[in-house]
Structure 1
Amino acid sequence: MQKKLRITVEGKVYDVTVEELTENGHAAPSYPSIAGTGASSSVVAAPLSAPMPHVPAAAPAASAVPGAEICPLGGVVESVDVTVGQKISQGDRIAVVEAMKMKTPVHANHSGTVASIAIKPGDPVEAGAVLMTIA
């Protein structure tokens, strides 16, 4: 698409015709004006990227494990705040998961002793993944 423009360089005025090109040097397609402003728009399609790989859960589904503490959201484990054998109470913070640059504390739903931990800092987790079990 060609556009007529007026530019001024060091006090001299020039009327020029400009053609918008794609990265490969072809004329860019043009489309009707934007919301009735009279300004035309053009769109250059970017190549499709490969689909994002599926990240498996850190452990089996919570329903399969008695005493399981499950992850409330998908993200990356920022910290694990308990150790195996530690006694904890319902409501204690057991881990922190980071998702979209927000750190979310995960609190225990059960009181008892930490029997196993299925995650470590840096692990990707999905919502519903077992983080640890409490006996």
Structure 2
Amino acid sequence: MKKLRITLEGKAYEVTVELLEDSVSSAVQPLPQPPVQVPPLSVSFPAGKPGSTAPVGEGCVAVCCPMAGKVFKCLVKPGDQVTHNQVVIVLDAMKMETPVVAPVAGVVRTVLFKEGDSVDEGDCLLQIEGLAH
């Protein structure tokens, strides 16, 4: 078994492969690189911008779906207080769980999808009324 780092379209992935025949030259050695940390996705659109499929209430920020998939877990409900970068929804897309985080601290005003619902990229998942500083 060999551990390799592969870069596709600028993103590095660590993979483990089993060599069936040892035809790899010992002169070829992968360069050591630190593992890549992928931050949770957070996409929001102000009212009226393309991609927002629901009207956004005054003083609210729409948390929009970054990719097509299914709502795997909804971790908040209307009235819940959330912090900036708190995971609010987990999507299931391409057999992977993708966390969606709150772009602002505030109070959840509306949740527009429930667990198991299919969502498209750009769909407004929920709205958060931002806290005044």
Question: TM-score, structure 2 length as denominator?
Answer: 0.54
Asked if 1:62 corresponds to 2:56, the answer is no
Matched residues in 1 for 2:96 and 2:104: separation? 25
The residue number in structure 2 matching 1:72 is 66
Partner of 2:113: helix, strand, or coil? coil
Consecutive unaligned residues in structure 1, runs of 5 or more: 1-59
Name the larger-Rg structure: 1
Matched residues in 2 for 1:101 and 1:118: separation? 23
Query: 1:111 deviation in Å?
Result: 1.2
Partner of 1:110: helix, strand, or coil? coil
The residue number in structure 2 matching 1:130 is 124
- Asked if the contact 1:62/1:69 (under 8 Å) is kept, the reply is no
Aligned length: 76
The residue number in structure 2 matching 1:15 is none
The residue number in structure 2 matching 1:89 is 83
Consecutive unaligned residues in structure 2, runs of 5 or more: 1-49
CA 1:110–1:71 in structure 2 vs 1: closer, same or farther (change >3 Å)? same
Matched residues in 2 for 1:113 and 1:96: separation? 18
1:4-83 correspondence runs (5 A): 61-62=51-52, 64-65=55-56, 66-83=60-77
Partner of 1:113: helix, strand, or coil? strand
AA in 2 matched with 1:76 = K
The residue number in structure 1 matching 2:110 is 116
Identity %: 36
Matched residues in 1 for 2:83 and 2:109: separation? 14
AA in 2 matched with 1:121 = E
